[in-house]
Structure 1
């Protein structure tokens, strides 16, 4: 399955448009649960160990799970770095990688990241922004760590696309109820 993912574009214009095309009407723990499980199932099917993390900008974790055994504790550091990058710059980490041609040193130098900040951020793909209609800026991040950056980006995009297809036309039971 992971081998069949198309290589993601490196066009900043196309990546920015892709990110905004996934703007949610709202984003709750239900969204995170479904997207997280889509990711986990896809990664398990592909026999790909990774950590999946979905959280809000407030640092509230909505979903966090390994896809399968085999992850090293250091992978948690990559989750934190990818999340921090998405929240600071409002773009996917693949967008940031594409902006700097995958050159982590150029990324660090361009933003003047000191020694302490170098360890906080990364331009390795796999971090993805969550946007909500009517809210300025990023409201959360979807992160996959443990895979190559292009593959991690592709898996997240595919999962969000699948989620959109599942939700198309779906009405929440709470919305369907009428108040008398």
Structure 2
């Protein structure tokens, strides 16, 4: 039976609270954990209705090494993924490792800064309209904010990072920082994010 995903939050404050919630903090995380979680993610994606389901690549890595992470689980959910999915996985993972937050939260934080900068009415409708207008500016704002120059320049190349939903940090109780990264690439970016959040919560709730 189709099991649709609820919409991902777009509020940076809510997203920040979600990522620090005990519901997404692992008691431990090993290659065995990654295998079981990866299979749960694949099963969840395959249960999506046709309006949300697309071929996707799931990748789970350990450690903070970049650009050579220790990938302990990776699979395509079904035929139809392409080599570009691998590039999106790499770039989303790099964003999580550098800034320690999900790639979706990073996008929403940059977008919130743009919207605040243009001012205007404070009602929900006005804010949503400004967000739609600013979406085309968010990538450039991200590059400028973190001084991500072109290859050979100061800082890291802009194409090393992606602020599209789907990269999510693995945190473990009692351990500082990010110990791994879960990435989904292939769905709509907000669904890439939400399927990870929902699956991690259910996985930990059953553990």
Residue 120 (structure 2) aligns with = none
**CA displacement at 1:166 relative to structure 2:** 1.5
Does structure 1 residue 112 correspond to structure 2 residue 152?
A: no
What CA distance in whole angstroms lies between the structure 1 residues aligned with 2:46 and 2:14? 29
Residue 36 (structure 1) aligns with = 38
**CA displacement at 1:125 relative to structure 2:** 0.3
**CA displacement at 1:99 relative to structure 2:** 0.6
Matches within 5 A, 1:70-149: 70-101=80-111, 102=135, 103-116=138-151, 117-149=157-189
**CA displacement at 1:44 relative to structure 2:** 2.1
**Structure with more contact order per residue of length (Cα contacts < 8 Å, sep ≥ 6):** 2
What CA distance in whole angstroms lies between the structure 1 residues aligned with 2:172 and 2:144? 31
Count of equivalent residues: 166
- Secondary structure of 1:119's counterpart equals helix
**CA displacement at 1:124 relative to structure 2:** 0.3
Residue 121 (structure 2) aligns with = none
Does structure 1 residue 51 correspond to structure 2 residue 65?
A: no
Runs of 4+ in 1 over 6 A off after TM superposition: none
Deviations 1:59-96 (A, max 9, x none): 11111000011011111000000000000000001101
- Secondary structure of 2:168's counterpart equals strand
Q: Give unpaired runs (5+ residues) of structure 2.
A: 112-134, 152-156
Does structure 1 residue 20 correspond to structure 2 residue 20?
A: yes
The alignment's C-alpha RMSD in Å is 1.4
Q: Give unpaired runs (5+ residues) of structure 1.
A: 168-180
Contact 2:26–2:204 (8 Å) recurs in 1: no
Which sits farther off after the overlay, 74-83 or 158-167? 158-167
**CA displacement at 1:8 relative to structure 2:** 1.4
